[in-house]
Structure 1
Amino acid sequence: MSLTGKVAIVTGSGAGLGAAYAAALARAGAAVVINDVSAEAADRTVARIVADGGRATAFVAPVATSGVAQSLVDTAVTEFGSLDILVTNAGILRDKSFLKMTDDDFDAVIGVHLRGTFTCARAAFGYFKEHEKPGRIIAIGSPTGQRGNFGQTNYAAAKAGVVGMIRTWAIEMKKAGVTANAVIPVAATAMTATIPYFAAAVEAADRGEAMPAFFRHDLGFGTAEDVAGLVVWLASDEAAAITGQVIGAGGDRLQLWRHPEVLESYFHEGGWSADDIQEDLSVELSDHLQTVGDPPFPALPAELDRSVTPA
């Protein structure tokens, strides 16, 4: 898969998932603008890409404002002559249960994830359309935005909003030949490293070994590099027909998320009163309730369970 001659912006790419996406795009031949709030982190990612024979430059600023978004596009054009790919990965967490979540907690997360994706994508699309480029917009979502998660009202709202925007942009950008897709990563992060359930997987990754098959296959949980291949493919010319999609990646698993759709339709002449619903549909609706939150993790195989003391 070659991206030779392409230019990409990856927001939030100083470390973690974003750095993996940027490195993979560079290995495929793209020049990459590395964005982060930490100059030290951004410079490290640039140095790694350059040491590997790639091209990269850093732009240090928090995303959210239109000014930063336009500056990212301008940096790509000034440094590398063009822009072809945008990956919106920048994000923060301010996890708290609903009643403890402050306005600032909510606004901060919405600002970076949702508004940052909006402003950066708008600036990139403006460039693509003006220069008649079949650009690629890849927004990073989350399982939380698809199913919800305790303590993450702000994050769930932002990530669900990202998916809504992607589906809308796919419609609006189609005539210009620009694609817009969302990626749902399931990968080891600093947060999962603190969860005992994932201890065996994290230990293997720290040793530079492959994670046990239980994590990679059964859970679809892996490394940041496992997600990067999907990002590179969506950024390529070969994926020109893929737009408006939500695709998950983790470990050995790839998942295509279904768009929301009507499960059942019911009709009542004259419309539905509250009493009609109670009498005719209360049981039926209860039988079709949709689940929320991720399903419980399956039990760990004994050899991977670090909570069990060997006899």
Structure 2
Amino acid sequence: MGGDGLTVLEAKRVIITGAGQGLGRAYAVAAALAGAAVVVGDIDAEAAEQTVEAIRASGGRAVAVTGSVAEWAVAQQLTARCVDEYGGVDGLVANAAIMRNADPWDDTEEDLRAVAEVNVLGVQFTARHAMRAMVESGRGGSVVTVVSGARDGIAGMSAYGASKGAVAAMTANWALAGRAHGIRVNAISPLGLTRMSQADHRSDRPPMPDPSRVAPLVTALLSDSSAPLTGAVLRFDGTALGTYGSSLRTVATSSTGWRAEDLAAALVEEAAQ
């Protein structure tokens, strides 16, 4: 299956979670068009099968695994199915996530647990099994995680933003651990028109592109062409590609020690700049 001739993922075996709709489906379809055999993971069995059918209708290879990534057994099954069906795992897109909109003092216990279990544990569970298969095969691979601008603050998204901050930390640490095994790990902060993004009712919400415009970045990260890149956090809206940096800037120094009031004054001065 080559679509318009693009075969950058030829012979790759890829797991994509949350692939029943929206960005996840776009990633799965694009990966298959680029030559990959895809395991479509989603909690919605009908949606997962629709993605599989769309891929097969275009001549691609895909199978579905249904269930929540927050369950260890489901995360394990995603990797097991990829190995059993295709002979190994070369890539993982840990896309599955949920969002709850509320002020932090209005979040319920149920909502907080659900967000943490799917967005944090679900990513860890899925990546743990996929990366284990990559290590054992000796082939390495590519892991793509998904973060959000909410980790830097969006009103009503504190729980979601916290979970995405955790994913960014996972990405950095997994990139270090995976380097010796040929596993590269990068994060994307995508902007696309999905059911989740439509739940964001901010008046200043930026325009949302069709998910198909965002999918090429995931294909690129799964391909060997991007092999030198690991530990990056990328922003993409289908038009502009950017990267988030991590750096510490010194605000002020004192060789004689600091008093609390001096620290407060330095911080106020910094905030005013």
Deviation at 1:70, TM superposition (A): 1.3
2:272 match = 287
Pair 1:144–1:82, CA change in 2 (3 A) = same
Deviation >4 Å, runs of 4+:
191-198
Q: Matches of residues 141-220 of structure 1 in structure 2 within 5 Å?
A: 141-145=147-151, 147-193=152-198
CA distance in 1, matches of 2:258, 2:89: 53
Unaligned runs of 5+ in 1: 199-214, 289-311
- 1:276 and 2:255 equivalent? no
CA distance in 1, matches of 2:17, 2:196: 20
Amino acid corresponding to residue 34 of structure 1 in structure 2: V
Deviation at 1:96, TM superposition (A): 1.4
Structure 2 counterpart SS, 1:10: strand
CA distance in 1, matches of 2:39, 2:224: 20
Number of residue-to-residue matches in the alignment: 266
Of 108, 114, 124, the match for 1:118: 124
- 1:262 and 2:248 equivalent? yes
Give deviations 1:72-100, integer Å, cap 9, x for gaps: 10000111111100001111122211111
Deviation at 1:278, TM superposition (A): 4.1
Tell me, yes or no, if the aligned pair for 1:226 and 1:249 is still in contact at 8 Å.
no
CA distance in 1, matches of 2:209, 2:96: 20
CA distance in 1, matches of 2:65, 2:46: 11
- 1:251 and 2:256 equivalent? no
Tell me which moved more, 240-249 or 262-271: 262-271
Pair 1:50–1:95, CA change in 2 (3 A) = same
Tell me, yes or no, if the aligned pair for 2:19 and 2:25 is still in contact at 8 Å.
yes
Deviation at 1:269, TM superposition (A): 2.1
1:80 match = 86
Structure 2 counterpart SS, 1:267: coil
Pair 1:238–1:168, CA change in 2 (3 A) = same
- 1:40 and 2:27 equivalent? no
CA distance in 1, matches of 2:207, 2:138: 38
1:28 match = 34
- 1:104 and 2:89 equivalent? no
Tell me, yes or no, if the aligned pair for 1:220 and 1:253 is still in contact at 8 Å.
no
Tell me, yes or no, if the aligned pair for 2:192 and 2:208 is still in contact at 8 Å.
yes
Amino acid corresponding to residue 170 of structure 1 in structure 2: A
1:232 match = 219
Of 2, 14, 19, the match for 1:8: 14
Deviation at 1:271, TM superposition (A): 2.0
CA distance in 2, matches of 1:222, 1:266: 42
Structure 2 counterpart SS, 1:17: helix
CA distance in 2, matches of 1:69, 1:117: 9
Pair 1:127–1:192, CA change in 2 (3 A) = closer
CA distance in 2, matches of 1:36, 1:283: 47
Tell me, yes or no, if the aligned pair for 1:220 and 1:249 is still in contact at 8 Å.
no
Amino acid corresponding to residue 169 of structure 1 in structure 2: W
Which structure: larger Rg? 1
Unaligned runs of 5+ in 2: 1-5
RMSD (CA atoms): 1.9
Give deviations 1:187-234, integer Å, cap 9, x for gaps: 112355575969xxxxxxxxxxxxxxxx9xxx5741111111000000
Tell me, yes or no, if the aligned pair for 1:220 and 1:252 is still in contact at 8 Å.
no
CA distance in 2, matches of 1:220, 1:94: 21
Provide TM-score, normalisation by structure 1.
0.81
Deviation at 1:27, TM superposition (A): 0.2
Deviation at 1:179, TM superposition (A): 0.3
Taking only the aligned residue pairs, the percentage that are identical comes to 36
CA distance in 1, matches of 2:202, 2:142: 38
Tell me, yes or no, if the aligned pair for 1:14 and 1:34 is still in contact at 8 Å.
yes
Give deviations 1:109-147, integer Å, cap 9, x for gaps: 1111111111111111111111111210001111112x2
2:3 match = none
Deviation at 1:263, TM superposition (A): 2.2
Amino acid corresponding to residue 229 of structure 1 in structure 2: P
